[in-house]
């Protein structure tokens, strides 16, 4: 009987009975070998580790590549993605990608609502990125790792936001809050022995509740305008200070130059006076006469009218009009310079 002749179950039973026993044994052995080989070979991906359980208990951890294990359920290989960065979203969910290629989000208000330290409300949306650093701890020390991270992260965020004012949460301390939440979350997971490494905690969107959002935006705009004005004033200040300092230095240098000039002039006057004083001490009358004549020679050319008064008669003398005479007469030779004391002594033979 050929296989093509099998029409019903009775024909199939009769065909199997007609097969020699040795062929059945060979076929069973082949099937068993295939099953054993198929159940003994497994592959670990490039971003994975395989945790091997033998009779349900931990046996070993295998690296990426092709490996063998005991078949028939003796060994079980559980892949753990240790090379991948996992992400949890809080306050929103990524629902898909739009036709333009942009991600679409769905808000989850219950997760985002937080109470600040000054008893104000704020909607806080954030993400937690983590990696698995210990496959054995990740599988056996906590029952549901993702739910554990979710609960601990929400508790840490509520605690940190509760210690901050609404202004700090919405503007000033966003980066500090994210860092503090990351630290608290990592410390809690390490305490559980979760085998999880927190890569980052990022605040995505922090806004006030919808009822007060417009008012808060007005406050923010006013604060930004204030900061802009302050920055502009600081720029003017930084530009004006060097100019004023330059003017001050210039004035100081001018004053210093004037001081040095006056000091030098005074020192020259003192030196000249001392020299003149020595000459005066040696010949008082001659020096007095010379000084008088020098002053008269300097002052008289500046005078337009000269009056000569006779002390005895108490009135001006009738004198020649010198201006008229000088204009009409020939030029007058200058008088010889007065003789000094030393010249007079030489002439007198002293």
Tokens of residue 51, six digits:
């945790």
Report if residue 217 sits inside a domain: no
Range of the domain at 60: 3-80
75-80 and 65-68 beta bridge pairing: unpaired
Say yes or no: 146 and 41 in one domain: no
Element (H, E) at 105: strand 103-107
pTM of the model: 0.53
Q: How many domains, in total, are found in the chain?
A: 3
Say yes or no: 90 and 187 in one domain: yes
Please give the Cα distance from 207 to 169 (Å, whole number): 9
Question: Which CATH number do you get for residue 189?
Answer: 3.30.479.30
Report if residue 19 sits inside a domain: yes
Given 38, 56, 80, which residue is the final one in a domain?
Answer: 80
pLDDT at 182: 94
Given 208, 230, 247, which residue is the final one in a domain?
Answer: 208
Say yes or no: 63 and 135 in one domain: no
DSSP annotation of 228 reads H
Say yes or no: 137 and 158 in one domain: yes
Say yes or no: 58 and 100 in one domain: no
Report if residue 256 sits inside a domain: no
Report if residue 218 sits inside a domain: no
pLDDT at 1: 47
- The order of strands in the sheet holding 49-54 is 57-62, 49-54, 75-80
pLDDT at 255: 92
Tokens of residue 133, six digits:
């650093």
255 alpha carbon, distance to own chain's centre: 43
Say yes or no: 122 and 139 in one domain: yes
Say yes or no: 54 and 159 in one domain: no
Given 159, 174, 208, which residue is the final one in a domain?
Answer: 208
Please give the Cα distance from 192 to 148 (Å, whole number): 10
pLDDT at 341: 55
Say yes or no: 94 and 182 in one domain: yes
Say yes or no: 116 and 180 in one domain: yes
Would you tell me the crossing angle of helices 341-348 and 284-299 to the nearest 10 degrees? 130
Report if residue 259 sits inside a domain: no
Say yes or no: 12 and 47 in one domain: yes
Q: Which residues contact 48 (CB under 8 A, 6 or more apart)?
A: 64, 79, 80, 81, 82, 83
Longest dimension (CA), the chain: 185
49-54 and 57-62 beta bridge pairing: antiparallel
Report if residue 329 sits inside a domain: yes
Please give the Cα distance from 221 to 227 (Å, whole number): 10
Per-residue pLDDT of the chain (350 residues; tens, 9 = 90+): 454 555 555 655 565 666 666 666 676 666 666 666 666 778 888 888 888 888 888 888 888 888 878 777 788 888 889 889 999 999 998 877 667 767 788 888 888 888 888 888 888 999 999 999 988 899 889 889 999 999 999 999 999 999 888 888 877 788 899 999 999 999 999 999 999 999 999 998 888 877 777 777 787 788 788 989 999 999 988 889 888 888 999 999 999 999 999 999 999 888 888 887 777 777 788 878 888 888 888 888 877 766 666 666 655 555 556 566 666 655 555 556 555 556 655 655 54
Tokens of residue 121, six digits:
């409300």
pLDDT at 199: 94
pLDDT at 3: 47
pLDDT at 131: 94
pLDDT at 47: 85
| DSSP letters for 173-224 | THHHHHHHHHHHHHHHHHHHT--EEEEEEEEEEEE--GGGHHHHHHHHHHHH
């Amino acid at each position: 009987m050929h296989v093509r002749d099998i029409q019903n179950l009775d024909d199939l039973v009769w065909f199997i009975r007609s097969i020699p026993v040795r062929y059945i044994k060979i076929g069973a052995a082949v099937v068993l070998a295939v099953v054993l080989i198929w159940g003994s070979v497994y592959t670990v991906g490039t971003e994975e580790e395989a945790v091997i359980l033998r009779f349900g208990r931990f046996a070993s951890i295998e690296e990426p590549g092709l490996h063998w294990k005991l078949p028939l359920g003796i060994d079980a290989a559980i892949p753990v993605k240790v090379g991948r960065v996992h992400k949890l979203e809080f306050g929103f969910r990524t629902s898909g990608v739009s036709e333009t290629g942009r991600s679409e989000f769905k808000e989850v208000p219950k997760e985002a609502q937080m109470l600040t330290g000054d008893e104000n409300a704020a909607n806080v949306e954030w993400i937690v990125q983590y990696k698995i650093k210990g496959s054995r701890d990740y599988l056996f020390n906590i029952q549901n790792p993702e739910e554990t991270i979710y609960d601990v992260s929400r508790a840490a965020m509520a605690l940190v936001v509760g210690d901050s004012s609404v202004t700090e949460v919405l503007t000033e301390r966003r980066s500090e809050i994210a860092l503090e939440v990351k630290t608290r979350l990592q410390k809690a997971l390490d305490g559980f022995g979760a085998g999880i490494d927190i890569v980052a905690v990022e605040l995505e969107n922090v806004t006030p509740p919808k009822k007060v959002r417009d008012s808060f935006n007005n406050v923010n705009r006013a604060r930004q305008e204030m900061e802009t004005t302050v920055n502009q004033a600081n720029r003017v200040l930084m530009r004006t200070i060097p100019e004023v300092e330059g003017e001050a230095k210039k004035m100081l240098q001018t004053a210093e130059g004037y001081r040095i000039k006056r000091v030098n002039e005074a020192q020259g006057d003192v030196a000249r006076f001392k020299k003149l004083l020595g000459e005066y001490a040696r010949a008082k009358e001659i020096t007095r006469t010379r000084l008088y004549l020098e002053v008269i020679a300097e002052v008289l050319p500046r005078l337009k009218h000269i009056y000569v008064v006779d002390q005895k008669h108490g009135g001006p003398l009738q004198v020649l009009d010198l201006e008229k005479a000088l204009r009409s007469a020939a030029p007058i030779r200058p008088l010889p310079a007065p003789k000094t004391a030393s010249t007079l002594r030489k002439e007198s033979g002293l």
